[in-house]
C-alpha cells in the first residue's frame, strides 16, 4: 500500500510538441513581446517627449531639466569621481539602517512576544508611535543626537523600527498555535518554542520586514541627508537646489530611483534564495 | 490487564471574561495497556481538552490523571501526542522533523537516530529522509508525523482527529497504516475523532461523551472477532452497521 | 479710499524666510503701505532662494524676495524670461559670528585654525563668510575650516552640542542664544562684509514688462517702509512688526531690531547699486559657485526705485 | 432533522457566579490595573524626569524644551487663535490626501485588475516607483506643481498612491477564484464580477489601505509642509527650527503625535463599524 | 427516458509554458432527465474540468456538449453549479445571497422572490433569511447554497465535491437533505466526489474515470430497489459494501 508517489504534474508530455501547443507558445511569446515593447515605448516616449519639449522651450529646461542635460551631468560627476562616492555613501547608510532596523526590530519583537506584560504595557505607545509621522522628528534628532552620520541612522531607525516590530510581532502571533503545542507536547520550554518554531517559521515575515525596511531606510537616509550631510545623493539634491542647478537635482533623483530599485530587487532575490529553497 | 491511564473525576472549567465555560465534568476512565480507545462526542464537548489534560499540557480544575499510577503534573515522555494536522516544519527535512522531539528532549543519540531510520525504513519513508515535507503526499506526511511521535518512544499515544485533514480515500488507507504501526509497536492509543465509522473500525472501546460539559454518556466495546483485524476489514463486518447506528443515535447529530 | 479698497490688486509675494531681518517689509504690511498703493499682498514662505525663484519663474508668485544671486544664476543659465531685480531691502549679511565665550577684542584673525559651522555649501551665508574670511586674509579650507554639513535650522543645536568652534547664526536666534548664555556674538558678518546686496525683490522679465504699474506700486510701498524704519525707534519698529512675529519675545524683538538698525542692515532706499552688485558676484566667484559674471544692466533695474524716491517724501 | 442550532458559546452560565470565576475575574482585573498603572507611570516618569532635569539644567531646556514650557507654548498659541488654525490646516490636508489616495489607488487597482495587458505593462514601473523614496521627489514637485497646497497634496499622493494600488490590487488577487467562478456560473459578466464580488469582498483590504494611507498621508503632509507652506503643524516645526524655538518644535511634534494617533484611531473605528457588522 | 445532457467525444488539453496537460480524453456520456449521476476518479483526473465544460464555463479542445440537444457555448440558465465550498457572501444576508444568481441574470421579480422564500421555508431556513451567513451552521450554509442555485430554476445541477467541506456526521445528514431536495424539485444531477460511499449512496449511476487524461473507465448502475430511497438507507443495504469494494479496487487508491 505504500506506493511512493511524488506530487503531481511531473508527468508532463515532453515527447513531440503538438500543433496546439506550438500555437499556444507562439501566442504567449507574442503577448510577451508586445508587453515588453509597450514598456520600452512608454519609456522612450516619456524621455523623448521631455527632451523635445525642453529643446523647444515649451517646458522650461531650466526648471524641468532635460534628459540630455542629465546625461551630461552624470558624465561630469563621474569624471570628477564624485558620482560613485555619493552613491556609495547613501547606499552604505541605507544598508546600515535597514540591517540595524531589522535586527533591533526583531529583538524587540522577541521581547514583546516573550513577556505578555511588557507587550501589554507597550501597546498604546507602539500604536501612537506607529501613527506618528517620524519625519517630523528630524529637526529634534539633530539637536539631540548631533549632526553627523549618527543622526541619519537615527532618522532611519525612527522610521523603520516601529513598523518592523509590529510586522515581526504580528508574524510571531499568526504562527499556528498548534505548532507551538507540538513543541510543548515534547516538553519544550518557552525558549525552545522560540528557537524551534517561532524564529524559523517567521523567517518569511522577517524577510518581508526587510523588504519594507529597505524602502523606509531610503526615506530615512534621504531625509537625514536633507538635514545633515556632506555627501550622498540627498546631499546632492539639497546642494543642487541651493545653487539652483535643477540638472543636478534631477540627476540625483534618477540615480536614487535606480539605486533604490536595485537594492529592493537584491532583497527580493535574497528572499527567493532563503525561502523558496525548501518550498519548491 | 494492566491499567496504564487512569482518569479520576476529571473536571475542567475554562475561565473567560464573559463567564465560565464548563468543558468537562466528572470523567472517570481507565485505559489498559495496549488498548485502542476512541472518544467521540458532539463538537465542542471537550474532547481536545480531555487529551490535553491527559498529556499534562493542561491542568484540570478538579480530579487527577494517573499514568502508570503516577500523578501527571506536566508533559511526560511516556505520552506522545498527535495533532490534527501533521505540522511538519517546512524548513526541516523529514529526518530533521522526525528528530524534533528528541532534540527538544535533548536526547539525540546515535541509537535514537538509528531507531528513527529504522522506523522510516519500516514505514516506507526512508527515501524521503532528506527531502522536505512539501515533496510528500498527505498520507506520507501523516506517517512522518506519527514516526516523529514514535521515536521519542512514548507508551501512550494520543491522537486528536489525526486524520481529519485527509481526503476520504486517503483517510481509509492511512487508518490502516497507522493502526498497523501502533499495533506493531505495541502502543496504547487514545483517539479523538468526529468520524463514528473511524472510531468503530479502529478501536477496542468507543467512549461517547455528552454535550458540553462533557461526561461519559456510554461506552461501546468493539469486538468483531476478526483474525488480523484491520480498520478496513472491520468496516465490512455486518455488526459494524449496527454499532454505527447505535452511536449515531446517541450522538443525535444535527445538521 | 473705500473705493480703492475694493479694487485692491492681489499680489503673491514669496519670501525666502520669515525673519526680523526683513523688518521694513513687515512694517509696510502692518501699517497698510501696500493698501495705500492699492495692493493686497499674499505672503508665503518659500523656505529657500531656489524655491522662491522657482515660484517666480513658474508664475506661482508674482514677486520673489530672496538674494539677488538667484537672479544671477538664472540669467547665466541662459533663460530668456529671466528674473530682474527691482528693489533692494537689506544691505549686507544678517548673520553673526558666535563663539562660546564673549570676547570684546575679537579679531577675524582669531579664527585661524578653527572650525566655523557655516551653513550649507552654496548658500549665501556660507558665501559671504568665505568672502569675509578672504578679505581678512584667511583662506577657507586652508587657514580655517568651514563645516557645511548642516541645514541652518540644525546649526544652533549642533554648536551647543559641542560641534565647531564658531558658528554663524541669524537673528533672533543669535540674541536668544546670547540671552541664554549659550553663545556670544563676536562679529557681524554684515558689518564685516560691507555693502552687499543681500535680499532684494525680483520678478520675471515678462511680468515686469506687462505690469510696470504694479511693480511701481510695490516699490513705493517698500520705500515707505524703509523710510518709516529709518525714522522710528527700535521700540516703535518692534511694536509695528510684532503681529508678524506673534510668538517672539518682545524684549528679543527690540534687541534684534536695534542691532540691525545700528549696523545699517536696512537699506534706506530700494536702489541696488552697481558696485554692490559686482561685489556680490566677486564673492560668488571666489567661492567657486559662479563661472561668469552677469551684466548689471540686464539683471537689475533701478527705474522703479528711482521713481519711488522721486515721488515719495 | 432541521434543528435550528445557533452557533456555540451562547450558552454560557449566567446564573450564579462561582467562586473560581470570581477569583479569575479579580486576577484579570488586577493584571489590567497593573498594566494601566505601569503605562501611566512610564508617562508620568518620563515627563516628570524631563521637567526635573530641565529645571535643574542638567539637560538644557533651551535645546530639549520642557513640559512646562510646552504647556505655556500651547496656551500662548491657543490664545492667539493660531493653534486650532494650524491643526485644522494640517488635518484637512491629511484627510484630503488619504481620501484621494485611497480612491485613486482603488480606481487604478480596478483598471489594473481589469486589463491584464495594462497590469503587465505597468508592473516594472510600479516596482520601481514603489522602491523609490518619494521624499526625494519633494523638491521636484515644487518645481513642477508649484508651491502651495497642491504640492502638499501631490507629495502625499506620491507617498501613498503606489502602496495603495499594490495593496488593493493584491487584495483583489487573493479573493477566492471560486467566488468569481460562482458569479460566472450564473452567467455574470466581468463588470458583475467586479461589483458583486471583488469590490465588496475587498472592503476590508480597502479599509486596511486606508489605515496605511492615514500614516503615509501624515508623512506626505509634513514633508510637504516642510517644503512649502504658510500654516500647519509642519510649518510650525520648520519655523520653530528656523528661529530655534525648540519649545515650538516640541509642542508641534506633540500635537502632531496626538492628532495622528486620533485620526488613526478614527479609521480603526470606521473599520470596526463597516466590517464587523456582518461578522459577529 | 429523455436524454438531457449529452457529451460527445469530449477532450481537453490545458496549455502552459511547461507543456501541455491532457486533462480529458474521449469522454462520451448521456445523462437522462431526473437521473442522479456521480463521477469519481483519482485526484487530478479532470473531474472538475468536466463539470466546467458541461456548465459552459470552459470550452473543450475537442468534442461537443449538448443540453436538450442544443450545443453549449457559454453559461446557460438551464445549468446550476454547486461548488465545493458554499461561498455564501459574508456581506449579504441569506436572502440576498439566495437572490445573487437572479440579480446577476437581472430577473429579480416578485414571483422569483416568492419562490426563494418558498424554498427557504420548505428547507428550514426562513428564520435566517435576514441573518448573515456567519450565524449559520455548516449544514445550513450548504442548504442555503443549494437554494441559491435552485431559485434560478436550472434543470440540471452540477455538484463539485459540494459536501467535502463538512465534517463526517454533518455530511451524512446533508447528503440526505440535499438528495431529498433534488428529488422533490425534480432536478437532474451530476455530482463529482472523492467519497466512494457518498457516490454510491446518492446516485443512480456511478461513472469511474481513469487517471489523467481522464476517460470513462467503468459505469456502475446502482439499483438497490428501496422504497423512498435515501442516502442513509442505501448505505445499509448489504449490496452497498460490494459495490464500494468494486469501485475502491478500480480506483486503486494509494496513500
Ligand atoms: N482556552 C480556552 N478558553 C476558553 N474556552 C475554551 C478554551 N479551549 C476550549 N474552550 C471551550 O471549551 C469547550 C471544549 O473545547 P474542546 O476544544 O475541548 O472541544 P472539542 O470536543 O475538542 O471540540 P471539537 O469537536 O470542535 O474539536 C468548547 O466549547 C470551547 O469553546
Ligand atoms: N487552468 C488550468 N491550467 C492548467 N492545468 C490545469 C488547469 N486546471 C486544471 N489543470 C490540470 O488539469 C488536471 C485536471 O484538473 P481537475 O481540477 O479537473 O481535476 P479533478 O479531478 O477535479 O482533481 P481533484 O480531484 O483534485 O479536484 C489536473 O492535473 C490539473 O493540474
Ligand atoms: Mg477538538
Ligand atoms: Mg476537482
**Cell numbers describing residue A194:** 522560540
Contact B237, B226 (CB under 8 A): yes
Ligand lying nearest the CA atom of residue A8: 2
For ligand 2, the distance from its centroid to the CA atom of residue E11, given in whole angstroms, is 13
**Burial call E121-132: b when 16+ CB within 10 Å, e when fewer:** eebbbbebbebb
Contact A210, A267 (CB under 8 A): yes
This prediction has a pTM of 0.83
Nearest to B66 by CA among B99, B101, B29, B97: B29
Dist. CA A123–CA A135, nearest whole Å: 22
Query: Which of E48, E104, E146 should be substituted to probe chain D, the one whose Cβ sees the most D Cβ atoms within 10 Å?
Result: E104
**Cell numbers describing residue B14:** 475554562
Dist. CA D137–CA D227, nearest whole Å: 11
Q: Which residues touch C123 (CB under 8 Å, ≥6 apart)?
A: A242, C152
Chains that touch A (3 or more CB pairs under 8 A): B, C, D, E
Give the pLDDT of residue B162. Answer: 85
**Quick check: do A and B touch, 3+ CB pairs under 8 A?**
yes
DSSP conformation class of C300: B
**Cell numbers describing residue D133:** 523614496
* pLDDT band, residue A231 (cuts 50/70/90): confident
The answer, yes or no, to whether any atom of ligand 1 lies below 6 A from the CB of B188, is: no
Strand partners, E29: E7
Q: Which residues touch D128 (CB under 8 Å, ≥6 apart)?
A: A257, A261
Ligand lying nearest the CA atom of residue B194: 1
Percentage of chain D surpassing pLDDT 70?
A: 91
Contact D97, D221 (CB under 8 A): yes
Dist. CA C235–CA C253, nearest whole Å: 9
Test D4 with E105 for CB contact under 8 angstroms.
no
Distance from CA of B206 to the nearest CA of A (A): 24
Distance in Å from the first CA to the final CA of chain B = 41
Distance in Å from the first CA to the final CA of chain D = 26
Please report, to the nearest 10 degrees, the dihedral formed by the alpha carbons of residues A133, A137, A138, A144 taken in order: -160
The answer, yes or no, to whether any atom of ligand 1 lies below 6 A from the CB of B20, is: no
Dist. CA C266–CA C243, nearest whole Å: 20
Contact A73, A246 (CB under 8 A): no
Residue A236 in this model has a pLDDT that exceeds 60: yes
Q: How far is CA B18 from CA A32, D29, E136, in A?
A: 58, 13, 22
**Quick check: do B and E touch, 3+ CB pairs under 8 A?**
yes
* pLDDT band, residue C1 (cuts 50/70/90): very low
Strand partners, C144: C140
The dihedral region occupied by B166, where left means phi > 0, alpha psi between -120 and 50, and beta the remainder, is: beta
Contact A63, D140 (CB under 8 A): no
* Least reliable range by pLDDT among C14-18, C226-230, C244-248, D71-75: C244-248
Could you tell me if A190 lies within 8 Å of chain E, comparing CB atoms? no
Residue in chain E nearest A14 by alpha carbon: E19
Give the pLDDT of residue E52. Answer: 94
DSSP conformation class of B196: H
Test A186 with B152 for CB contact under 8 angstroms.
yes
Residue ranges of domains in chain A: 20-59, 77-279
**Cell numbers describing residue A147:** 549632526
The residue behind cell 475587498 is D202
Test B20 with D1 for CB contact under 8 angstroms.
no
Dist. CA C228–CA C233, nearest whole Å: 10
Which residue has a Cα nearest atom 3 of ligand 2? E14
For B127, counting Cβ atoms within 10 Å of its Cβ (0-12 exposed, 13-18 middle, 19+ buried), the class is exposed
Distance from CA of C174 to the nearest CA of D (A): 9
Percentage of chain A surpassing pLDDT 90?
A: 42
Q: Which residues touch B105 (CB under 8 Å, ≥6 apart)?
A: A186, A187, B77, B152
Give the pLDDT of residue C22. Answer: 92
pLDDT in tens, A28-69: 999 999 999 999 999 999 999 999 998 988 887 877 888 999
The residue behind cell 568651514 is C146
Give the pLDDT of residue A9. Answer: 45
Q: How far is CA E144 from CA A273, E161, E180, in A?
A: 46, 16, 14
The answer, yes or no, to whether any atom of ligand 1 lies below 6 A from the CB of B16, is: yes
Quick check: bond before B213 cis, omega within 30? yes
Protein residues near ligand 3, an ion, with CB under 5 A: B 48
Residues with CB under 6 A from ligand 2: A 8-9; E 14, 16, 21, 23, 41, 43-49, 212
Residue A11 in this model has a pLDDT that exceeds 70: no
Dist. CA A221–CA A228, nearest whole Å: 10
Dist. CA C167–CA C184, nearest whole Å: 10
Interstrand relation of B156-160 and B188-192 (parallel, antiparallel or unpaired): parallel
**Cell numbers describing residue C270:** 530700494
pLDDT in tens, A194-223: 999 999 999 888 888 888 888 889 988 988
Which residue has a Cα nearest atom 6 of ligand 1? B14
Which residue has a Cα nearest atom 23 of ligand 1? B44
Which residue has a Cα nearest atom 22 of ligand 2? E48
Counts of helices then strands in chain E (DSSP H, E): 9, 10
Residues composing chain B: 255
**Cell numbers describing residue C35:** 493698501
Q: What are phi and psi of D153, to 5 degrees?
A: -65, -40
Nearest to A133 by CA among D253, C224, B73: D253
Question: What ipTM was assigned to the predicted interfaces of this complex?
Answer: 0.82
pLDDT in tens, C237-266: 999 998 888 777 888 899 999 989 888 889
**Burial call B110-126: b when 16+ CB within 10 Å, e when fewer:** eebeebbbebbeebbbe
* pLDDT band, residue D279 (cuts 50/70/90): low
Q: Which residue of E17, E20, E44 is in closest CB contact with A18? A: E20
Task: State whether residue E177 is helix, strand or coil.
Answer: helix
Dist. CA D113–CA D166, nearest whole Å: 11
Task: State whether residue C190 is helix, strand or coil.
Answer: helix
Dist. CA C116–CA C138, nearest whole Å: 13
Distance from CA of C310 to the nearest CA of A (A): 36
Interstrand relation of B216-221 and B205-209 (parallel, antiparallel or unpaired): antiparallel
Q: State the architecture of D77-279 in CATH terms.
A: Orthogonal Bundle (1.10)
pLDDT in tens, E150-184: 999 899 999 998 887 777 777 888 888 889 989 98
Dist. CA C67–CA C71, nearest whole Å: 8
**Burial call E40-79: b when 16+ CB within 10 Å, e when fewer:** bbbeebbbbbbbbbbbbbbebbebebebeeeebeebbebb
Which residue has a Cα nearest atom 29 of ligand 1? B44
Dist. CA A222–CA A233, nearest whole Å: 8
Q: How far is CA D199 from CA D185, D203, D206, in A?
A: 19, 6, 9
Test D25 with B22 for CB contact under 8 angstroms.
no
Contact C129, A128 (CB under 8 A): no
Distance from CA of C1 to the nearest CA of D (A): 29
Give the pLDDT of residue B253. Answer: 58
The residue behind cell 469486538 is B223
Average pLDDT of chain D to the nearest whole number:
85
Give the pLDDT of residue A208. Answer: 85
| pLDDT, averaged in runs of 10, over chain B (255 residues) | 92 88 92 95 89 94 93 92 90 94 93 92 90 87 90 93 76 86 91 90 94 91 89 86 86 61
**Cell numbers describing residue B170:** 486517503
Atom of ligand 2 lying closest to residue E50 CA: 18
Residues composing chain D: 280
Average pLDDT of chain E to the nearest whole number:
90
Q: How many CA atoms lie within 13 A of D113 on its CB side?
A: 25
Q: What are phi and psi of E5, to 5 degrees?
A: -120, 135
Residue D227 in this model has a pLDDT that exceeds 90: no
pLDDT in tens, E182-218: 998 899 999 999 888 899 999 999 999 998 889 999 9
Could you tell me if D243 lies within 8 Å of chain B, comparing CB atoms? no
Could you tell me if D2 lies within 8 Å of chain B, comparing CB atoms? yes
Helices A138-145 and D246-275 cross at an angle (nearest 10°) of: 130
Dist. CA C14–CA D142, nearest whole Å: 13
* Least reliable range by pLDDT among A8-22, B235-249, C63-77, D233-247: A8-22
Which residue has a Cα nearest atom 16 of ligand 1? B46
Contact D159, D126 (CB under 8 A): no
Cβ pairs bridging A and C (under 8 Å): 73
pLDDT (tens place) for every residue of chain E, 255 residues total:
799 999 999 999 998 888 888 999 999 999 999 999 999 988 888 999 999 999 999 999 999 999 999 999 999 999 999 988 889 998 999 999 999 999 999 999 999 999 999 999 988 899 999 999 988 888 889 889 989 999 998 999 999 988 877 777 778 888 888 899 899 889 999 999 988 889 999 999 999 999 888 999 999 999 988 888 999 889 888 888 889 888 888 887 554
Strand partners, E189: E36, E157
Dist. CA B134–CA C111, nearest whole Å: 72
Nearest to C53 by CA among D164, B39, A242, E78: A242
DSSP conformation class of C111: G
DSSP B31-52: EETT-EEEEE-STTSSHHHHHH
Average pLDDT of chain C to the nearest whole number:
88
- Chain D positions touching B212 (Cβ under 8 A) are 11
Interstrand relation of B156-160 and B79-82 (parallel, antiparallel or unpaired): parallel
Contact E13, A20 (CB under 8 A): yes
Residue D10 in this model has a pLDDT that exceeds 50: no
Amino acid at each position: 500500500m505504500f506506493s511512493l508517489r511524488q506530487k503531481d504534474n511531473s508527468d508532463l508530455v515532453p515527447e513531440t510538441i503538438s500543433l496546439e501547443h506550438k500555437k499556444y507558445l507562439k501566442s504567449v511569446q507574442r503577448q510577451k513581446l508586445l508587453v515588453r515593447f509597450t514598456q520600452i515605448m512608454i519609456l522612450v516616449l516619456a524621455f523623448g517627449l521631455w527632451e523635445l519639449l525642453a529643446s523647444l522651450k515649451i517646458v522650461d529646461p531650466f526648471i524641468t531639466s532635460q534628459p540630455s542635460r542629465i546625461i551630461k551631468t552624470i558624465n561630469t560627476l563621474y569624471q570628477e569621481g564624485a558620482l560613485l562616492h555619493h552613491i556609495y555613501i547613501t547606499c552604505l547608510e541605507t544598508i546600515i539602517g535597514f540591517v540595524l532596523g531589522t535586527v533591533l526590530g526583531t529583538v524587540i519583537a522577541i521581547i514583546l512576544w516573550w513577556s505578555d506584560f511588557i507587550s501589554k504595557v507597550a501597546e498604546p505607545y507602539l500604536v501612537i508611535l506607529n501613527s506618528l509621522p517620524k519625519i517630523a522628528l528630524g529637526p529634534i534628532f539633530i539637536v539631540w543626537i548631533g549632526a553627523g552620520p549618527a543622526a541619519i541612522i537615527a532618522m532611519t531607525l525612527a522610521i523603520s523600527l516601529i513598523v518592523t516590530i509590529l510586522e515581526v510581532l504580528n508574524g510571531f502571533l499568526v504562527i499556528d498555535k498548534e505548532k507551538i503545542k507540538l513543541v510543548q507536547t515534547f516538553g519544550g520550554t518557552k525558549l525552545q518554542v522560540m528557537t524551534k518554531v517561532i524564529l524559523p517559521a517567521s523567517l518569511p515575515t522577517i524577510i518581508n520586514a526587510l523588504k519594507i525596511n529597505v524602502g523606509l531606510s531610503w526615506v530615512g537616509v534621504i531625509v537625514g541627508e536633507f538635514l545633515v550631510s556632506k555627501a550622498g545623493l540627498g546631499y546632492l539634491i539639497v546642494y543642487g537646489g541651493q545653487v539652483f542647478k535643477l540638472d543636478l537635482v534631477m540627476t540625483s533623483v534618477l540615480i536614487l530611483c535606480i539605486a533604490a530599485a536595485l537594492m529592493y530587487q537584491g532583497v527580493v532575490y535574497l528572499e527567493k534564495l532563503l525561502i523558496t529553497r525548501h518550498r519548491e | 490487564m494492566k491499567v496504564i491511564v487512569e482518569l479520576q473525576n476529571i473536571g475542567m472549567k475554562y475561565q473567560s471574561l464573559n463567564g465560565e465555560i464548563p468543558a468537562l465534568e466528572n470523567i472517570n476512565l481507565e485505559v489498559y495497556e495496549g488498548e485502542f480507545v476512541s472518544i467521540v462526542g458532539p463538537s465542542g464537548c471537550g474532547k481536545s481538552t480531555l487529551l490535553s489534560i491527559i498529556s499534562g499540557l493542561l491542568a484540570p480544575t478538579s480530579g487527577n490523571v494517573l499514568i502508570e499510577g503516577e500523578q501527571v503534573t506536566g508533559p511526560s515522555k511516556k505520552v506522545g501526542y498527535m495533532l490534527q494536522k501533521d505540522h511538519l516544519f517546512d524548513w526541516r527535512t523529514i529526518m530533521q522533523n522526525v528528530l524534533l522531539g528528541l532534540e527538544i528532549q535533548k536526547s539525540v543519540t546515535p541509537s535514537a537516530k538509528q531507531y528513527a531510520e529504522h522506523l522510516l525504513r519500516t514505514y516506507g519513508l526512508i527515501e524521503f529522509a532528506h527531502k522536505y515535507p512539501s515533496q510528500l503526499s498527505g498520507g506520507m506526511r501523516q506517517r512522518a508525523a506519527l514516526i516523529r511521535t514514535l521515536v521519542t518512544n512514548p507508551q501512550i499515544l494520543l491522537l486528536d482527529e489525526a486524520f481529519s485533514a485527509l481526503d476520504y480515500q486517503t483517510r481509509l488507507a492511512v487508518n490502516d497504516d497507522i493502526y498497523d504501526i501502533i499495533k506493531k509497536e505495541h502502543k496504547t492509543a487514545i483517539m479523538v475523532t468526529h468520524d463514528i465509522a473511524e472510531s468503530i473500525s479502529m478501536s477496542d472501546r468507543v467512549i461517547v461523551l455528552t454535550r458540553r460539559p462533557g461526561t461519559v454518556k456510554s461506552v461501546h466495546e468493539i469486538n468483531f472477532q476478526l483474525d488480523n483485524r484491520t480498520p478496513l476489514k472491520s468496516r465490512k463486518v455486518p455488526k459494524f452497521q449496527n454499532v454505527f447506528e447505535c452511536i449515531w443515535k446517541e450522538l443525535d447529530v444535527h445538521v | 479710499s473705500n473705493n480703492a479698497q475694493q479694487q485692491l490688486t492681489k499680489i503673491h509675494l514669496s519670501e525666502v524666510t520669515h525673519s526680523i531681518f526683513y523688518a521694513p517689509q513687515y512694517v509696510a504690511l502692518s501699517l497698510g503701505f501696500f493698501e495705500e498703493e492699492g495692493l493686497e499682498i499674499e505672503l508665503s514662505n518659500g523656505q529657500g532662494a531656489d524655491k522662491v525663484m522657482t515660484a517666480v519663474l513658474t508664475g506661482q508668485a508674482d514677486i520673489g524676495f530672496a538674494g539677488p544671486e538667484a537672479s544671477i544664476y538664472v540669467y547665466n543659465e541662459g533663460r530668456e524670461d529671466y528674473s530682474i531685480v527691482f528693489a533692494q531691502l537689506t544691505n549686507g549679511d544678517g548673520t553673526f559670528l558666535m563663539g562660546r565665550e564673549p570676547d570684546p577684542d575679537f579679531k577675524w584673525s582669531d579664527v585661524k585654525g578653527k572650525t566655523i559651522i557655516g551653513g550649507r555649501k552654496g548658500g549665501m551665508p556660507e558665501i559671504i563668510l568665505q568672502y569675509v574670511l578672504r578679505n581678512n586674509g584667511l583662506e577657507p579650507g586652508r587657514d580655517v575650516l568651514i563645516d557645511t554639513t548642516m541645514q541652518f535650522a540644525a546649526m544652533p543645536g549642533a554648536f551647543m552640542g559641542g560641534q565647531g568652534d564658531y558658528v554663524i547664526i541669524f537673528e533672533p536666534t543669535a540674541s536668544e542664544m546670547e540671552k541664554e548664555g549659550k553663545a556670544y556674538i563676536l562679529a557681524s558678518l554684515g558689518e564685516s562684509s560691507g555693502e552687499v546686496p543681500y535680499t532684494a525683490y525680483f520678478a520675471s522679465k515678462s511680468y515686469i514688462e506687462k505690469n510696470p504699474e504694479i511693480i511701481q506700486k510695490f516699490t513705493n510701498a517698500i520705500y515707505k517702509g524703509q523710510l518709516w524704519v529709518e525714522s522710528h525707534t527700535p521700540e516703535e519698529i518692534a511694536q509695528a512688526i510684532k503681529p508678524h512675529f506673534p510668538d517672539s519675545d518682545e524684549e528679543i524683538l527690540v534687541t534684534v531690531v536695534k542691532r540691525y538698525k545700528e549696523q545699517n542692515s536696512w537699506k534706506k532706499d530700494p536702489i541696488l547699486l552697481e558696485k554692490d552688485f559686482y561685489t556680490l558676484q566677486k564673492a560668488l566667484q571666489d567661492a567657486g559657485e559662479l563661472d561668469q559674471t552677469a551684466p548689471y544692466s540686464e539683471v537689475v533695474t533701478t527705474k522703479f526705485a528711482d521713481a519711488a524716491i522721486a515721488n515719495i517724501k
